[in-house]
Amino acid sequence: MSSPESLMRKKFPKCPICKSAKGYVPSPFYPNVTCKSCTAEFILHDNSLELKSPSKFKWDEELLNRKYPFDFWNTLKAPQIAEKIILPIDYVGGSRYHRNPVIGYLRVRPDGFTYKSSEGSVHEMEVNISPNKLLGVEVIKANDLGSVLRGKRLLINTSNQYLLLKYKDQSNRKRQLILDFHGHEENASELIGLANRFMETK
């Protein structure tokens, strides 16, 4: 008898959510399977497919726990990334090129991220990151920043967790920004999901 992941791969050689061909692994919740790339979890029925856990991109959450015919999943496309401004997101360190704290925001567009200082900020700053230069966005606890800062301190320590945004500059040198999202978990989660989508489509 074929395993659930081999049956899923036969029916969907590419993940219905992220279109990756990396395949599937068994979920702890048999007979569900999980995409190796986007981590979406599915259960295969006789004539339909059901999403049991959303992908790391988050846009598919509205499809949760609903059975849709195979044709639906084969033609499913991710919604285009619309322009969005996420704030408050303040720069508190991580870059030797920006030595002052900044009150700012992140603008997300189909062509990438822009971190920019707000009008009320004492110090000005603008960093543009195209999708192919983005290396990742993650939440990091203040206690774990030592290895990131390599002995240096934050410009201003205002929270117990921060966003770590990693990217490459125009010369392909690795850079990072440490950003305070002021405990707005929904903003952090949305940014991480958008970053994952950008990196998946490089």
Q: Which residues lie below 8 Å from residue 181, measured CB to CB, with a gap of 6+? A: 88, 89, 159, 162, 163, 187, 188, 191
Please check whether residue 119 is in contact with residue 102, taking contact to mean a CB–CB distance below 8 angstroms. Answer: no
Look at domain 84-200 and name its CATH class.
mainly beta
pLDDT, residue 164, reads 96
pLDDT, residue 81, reads 78
- b/e map 154-193, b = 16+ CB within 10 Å: bbeeebebbbbbbbeeeeeeebbbbbbbeeeeebbeebbb
pLDDT, residue 93, reads 94
Closest CA to 167 of 157, 153, 178: 178
- Percent of the chain's residues with pLDDT above 70: 98
pTM value is 0.71
The domain limits of the chain are 4-74, 84-200
pLDDT, residue 102, reads 96
Q: Mean pLDDT per segment of 10 residues, for the chain of length 202 residues?
A: 90 92 93 94 96 90 95 89 89 93 94 93 95 92 88 88 94 95 90 82 60
pLDDT, residue 19, reads 86
List beta partners, residue 26: 33
